[in-house]
A and B are shown apart, each in its own frame.
Chain A
Amino acid sequence: MSSPEQWTHPEPDAAPAATAAKPTAEQVIAGLRATDEGGADLVQLLTPEGERVTHPDFDIDITAEELRGLYRDMVLIRRVDREANALQRKGQLGIWVPLLGQEAAQIGAGRAMRQTDMAFPSYREHGIAWTRGINPTDLLGIFRGTDMGSWDPVEKRFHPYTIVIGNQVLNAAGYAMGQKFDGKVGDDEGEATMCFFGDGATSQGDVHEGFVWAAVYDAPLVFFCQNNQWAISEPTERQSRLPLYQRARGYGFPGIRVDGNDVLATLAVTKWALDECRHGNGPILIEAFTYRMDAHTTSDDPSRYRLSDELEMWKLKDPIERVKVYLVRQQWADSEFFDSIEAEADALGEELREFCTNMPDPPAERIFSNVYAEGNPNLEAQRDEFLDYVSGFAGGEH
């Protein structure tokens, strides 16, 4: 394992709550809550104030053009998110799952992947979808109720959204085992898989089993946990007494906590982790320490369970603002650039609205299509009977 010793064997007393005397459970939990700065092990390359800092093990050479690209990605996907949120408010979408605040975690991780890598998302990974070349309009059908994701998961190497918490982690582990069985692991040309899940998901048995499987089969799998501090109304400390990245040690692979609001750090750490995997040194757990700025979904009311102070504090860590400040300081971008990105975002928002409001409902046959690969005569009879019934109405209207 080429990882520094500290990640392979994180010191158990590295947690800020630990003191010489054994802490009580309450102290440990209180200490965890106090890790809103991310704790001492947090990998960061760009501070909330937009200052570039170095890290002894993770640094990254980033050109002005690359950083402008990351900035553009984040602004555009935030616009997609805000437009979709508004479309839900206007009744055009049944529900939306906001990504606000998690742009850096997703763009950093997504841009670290290669085309040949495979991604298994949960349901909030709109930024990852963006980096896989999926048109944001393809996400809308899921939330409008016209389809279950219209992209081709094989071609895009982006699995369908998974709603049952944790299921995709095992599916990803199996896929990564397949990459290994196929001999696609072992050198710089190797393939890797990344799966995405939240802090709440880490309580699920499937995630535990995914850790076990990936570890014992040395699967080229990067577990990417976006710890956005909340699982609907349940805070992280309701899922774990230990910082999540430290759990990896118990399974025998490295765990790293990265500032998930820092696109540079996320990119650097994820690139490293994917690289380890493609060379056969996986799996690896990354905990992206971030914050969900909006509601869990448009049906949620966060004012019932969290303090506005917390939100205000995290606003100061905005993932996009810090890049903007840095770009300006470096004189890597001027107002003309920022205006052009804004114009692009406006156009994208317009396209999304237009597309959404004009989306046709699927034909009734969709209910019955593709249940089986090889057909089922009883189901076909049921379909025929139903379609016959429907076509009996005047003009086939129903």
Chain B
Amino acid sequence: MAAPTMDRSTAAAPATPVQTLTISKALNLGLRAAMEANPKVIMMGEDIGKLGGVFRITDGLQKDFGEQRVLDTPLAESGIIGTAVGLAIRGYRPVCEIQFDGFIFPGFDQIVSQVAKLHYRTQGRIKMPIVIRVPFGGGIGAVEHHSESPESYFAHTAGLKVVSCSNPSDAYWMIQQAIDCDDPVLFFEPKRRYYEKGEVDTTAKPGPLFESRVLRSGTDATLVAYGPMVRTSLDAANAAAEDGTSLEVIDLRSLSPLDLEPVFESVRRTGRLVVVSEAPSESSIASEIAAKVQQECFYSLQAPVLRVTGFDTPYPPSKLEEEFLPDLDRVLHAVDRSLAW
């Protein structure tokens, strides 16, 4: 077997630096750029080769980079993650695709037992530069196990980093930054937003991966969200503006480590915080933010931190997901409660 060769594709470089892309296409181009930049980057997952993945995020990569760099794996998540560990020890940078959020659990053992801990156990002698991509969240009318938000399990585990993109520009850049990172990164992709469009400047690399970002400034209350709920929060802020309420919107981007300085700074000005996430609320990222904000901004708060989340139930049948998922109205209702305190 020959050593892997770098397989340059003509379709790779976008013609113009600024393009309007969907999140899905931006991820595809980001993965492609990472594979071109480093021959040790390999993709692993079910159906990611010929089919391009069930969401087509890896579309065309196997054709251009070959079967040894884009592996159509057997159908077993522990196998995907567990072999990625061995490949990482061998010097590869595996990017694993988990087909749907609800199927990460067979791989959970390898993620928390090996991926998260090998660097610690070996006092830094083994690095785990593995990216695990998870299309997550609801809103697509899917059957059970296809709409979950399992990110808190991973944010709870030391040794892992957890991020989520919310727009095409971040999708393009964050996936490359995650692949560059020497730590394992759980990369949560907002699947209901895959086909939303936005501008991507492929020459202007944005700031660091593990930083939150203020997307809209405001003075009356702060909204914090990540992934699919960023769009919902921005829509809520637009609607609130029509009624004369000024909401600041922060995209967390990084769920572990959490970059809460911009949130603290914002809350100190607005005095109010609403955290928006579609994951169940108990013991979640939303809980963590609420705890930290009350710890840091106690004297600035005009109202308790409120959470607008999915319920503490299994994800319901899809005919009920509109009730389950936080929407613009639930966010605005929480803002009203906060303002009325």
Contacts and interface: CB of A to CB of B under 8 A. Distances in A.
Interface of A: 120, 147-150, 152-154, 159-160, 162, 164, 167, 169-183, 185-186, 205-206, 209-210, 212-213, 216, 280, 369-374, 376-379
Contacts of B90: 174-175, 178-179, 182
Interface string B154-185: 00001101000000000000000000011100
B119 A173 contact: no
A374 B119 contact: no
Query: Chain B interface residue count: which class?
Result: 35 or more
A377 B79 CA distance: 32
B319 interface: no
B83 A174 contact: yes
B340 interface: no
Contact of B125 (A152, A181, A379): A152
Interface in B297-328: none
A189 to B, nearest CB: 14
B113 A167 contact: yes
B82 A170 contact: yes
Contacts, number: 149
B86 interface: yes
A interface secondary structure, majority: helix
Interface string B91-124: 1100000000000001001100110001111111
B239 interface: no
Nearest to B84: A174
B106 to A, nearest CB: 7
B92 A160 contact: no
Given A149-B121, A170-B86, A170-B110, A186 B1 contact: yes
A167 B319 CA distance: 39
A250 to B, nearest CB: 14
Which of A148, A149, A154, A177 has the most chain B CB atoms closer than 10 A to its own CB? A177
Given A178-B91, A181-B1, A213-B79, 9 more contacts: A173-B86, A174-B85, A174-B86, A175-B89, A175-B90, A205-B76, A369-B123, A372-B161, A377-B257
Q: Which 6 A-B pairs have the closest CB atoms?
A: A174-B86, A170-B82, A178-B90, A174-B83, A175-B86, A209-B79
B114 A171 contact: yes
A183 B119 CA distance: 27
Contacts of A373: 119, 124, 127-129, 181-183
A171 B1 contact: no
Given A370-B120, A370-B124, A171 B89 contact: yes
A171 B114 CA distance: 9
A369 B158 CA distance: 12
Given A160-B121, A372-B183, A177 B83 contact: yes
Contacts of A169: 82
Contacts of B122: 148-149, 152-153, 160, 370
A371 B86 contact: no
A173 B124 contact: no
A181 B120 CA distance: 27
Contacts of B74: 209, 212-213, 216
9 contacts: A153-B126, A162-B114, A171-B85, A174-B83, A206-B79, A209-B79, A370-B123, A371-B119, A378-B258
Contacts of B123: 147, 150, 369-370
B257 A181 contact: no
